[in-house]
Amino acid sequence: MTTQPANPFEMVAYVLSRQIEDHMIVYVGTGLPMVAAILARKTHAPHITLVYESGGQDPIAGDMPWSVGDPFTWRKSPIIQEMAYSFAQCYNGYVDIAFLGFAQIDMYGNINTHMIGDDFLNPKARLTGSGGNNDLSSLTEKMVLVGLQTPEKFVKKVDFITSVGHLTGGNSRKEAGLLGQGPVAVVTNAGVYDFEPATKRMRVKSLHPGVSFDLAQLATGFELLRPEGEIPVTETPSADVLEILRKEVDPRGVFISFPPK
């Protein structure tokens, strides 16, 4: 029996999971980051600790949470933190990595989850607002950003800076007073990106099988930087990992079905 190759969501979940190292404390939101964290725990990083915004941390294993407030996020947790204390753990250095989604992102990894349009009081579309997005991006040591790559989402200038990535590049994030390294990776359906160390501009790290640099650039509203030499192809999940993802992590395909359910 041959295993179907990874669909775009499964690929994103897998690549995200590879950002997690064993023994890390991982701050997770709903959706693919949660899938990725659970996959990491079931594969290469069995000893990670999950922390959630509603206060749950270190829950025992269960099914896929419906929300970050779902009882699965604090299933038999030894302690459930108040919201202010939960984010304080990022400030105080007890969280290694966090994942954030976005409606728009720019070349410096600044994120917008507030609105689309140029008039705050009369936007084309009002979105959720920050939630914990700004808190995690301001405080967490390493951020990984995740979303679909289209020219509408990868824009020259975000309509509202909800969360600061590398601000205007260079040393500007630190100058603004923020903590941590900022975004270290952006994971999309097309590839994996990092930030060039001096300018802090988004740079291709690897592209998923079948995606050329030109195609990735076409899906991006700003100029992507190219790495030195040949662009690596993103490592794809093995049949074993895909089996775990499909049968154990998200067996009902809540987040990894493609097209989405």
Partner 1 sequence: MYNYNGEALKNLRIDDTSILDRLVDFESARKAHLTKDHSKRDKRMSLTEAIAEFVKDDDICTDSGFAYVRTPHQAYFEIMRQGKKNLQFIGSPNTNHSYMINFGVCRYSHNSYVGAEMRGTDRNYSRNLKEGKVKILSEWSHGSMAQGFKAAQLGMPGVFSKQLLGSDIVRYNPYVKVMQNPGRKDHDPVVFIPALYPDVTIIHVHAADRYGNARVYGPTVNDAALAAAARKVIITAEEIVPEIDIRYNNKGVIIPFMYVDAVVELPFGAVPGNMPGLYYWSRQWWEKFLRYGTLSEENLRSFMEYWIFDCKDQFDFVNKLGGAKWIAAARRLTKTVEYDNEDAGYDYSYEEYRPGHDTGIYY
**Count of alpha carbons within 13 Å of 236, Cβ hemisphere only?**
15
CB 218 → partner 1: shortest distance, Å?
27
Catalytic residue among 53, 82, 175, 235: 53
Residue ranges in 157-216 that form contacts with partner 1 under rule CB under 8 A:
160-164, 167, 172-173, 175-179
53 is catalytic: yes
Helices and strands, counts by H and E, the chain: 7, 11
Which structure tokens are listed for 19?
A: 């950002």
* Among the listed residues 8, 42, 49, 69, the single contact to partner 1 using CB under 8 A: 69
Strand segments (E) across the chain:
25-28, 49-52, 97-100, 104-105, 111-112, 115-116, 125-126, 142-146, 183-187, 191-195, 202-207
The verdict on 44 binding partner 1 (CB under 8 A) reads no
CA distance 68 to 55: 9
From the list 109, 235, 117, the residue with the least C-alpha distance to 173 is: 109
CA distance 132 to 187: 20
DSSP letters for 84-146: HHHHHHHHTT---EEEE--SEE-TT--EE-SEESS-TTS-SEE----TTHHHHHHH-SEEEEE
* Among the listed residues 60, 197, 210, 247, the single contact to partner 1 using CB under 8 A: 60
The verdict on 247 binding partner 1 (CB under 8 A) reads no
The verdict on 258 binding partner 1 (CB under 8 A) reads no
* Among the listed residues 8, 131, 170, 227, the single contact to partner 1 using CB under 8 A: 131
The verdict on 261 binding partner 1 (CB under 8 A) reads yes
**Site mask, partner 1, residues 1-20, x = CB under 8 A?**
--------------------
CA distance 112 to 127: 9
The verdict on 54 binding partner 1 (CB under 8 A) reads yes
* Among the listed residues 4, 47, 78, 121, the single contact to partner 1 using CB under 8 A: 121
Residue ranges in 98-117 that form contacts with partner 1 under rule CB under 8 A:
114
List the catalytic residues: 53
**Site residues (CB under 8 A) for partner 1?**
29-31, 53-56, 60, 62-64, 66-72, 74-76, 80, 82-84, 87, 91, 114, 120-123, 125-135, 138-139, 160-164, 167, 172-173, 175-179, 252, 255, 261
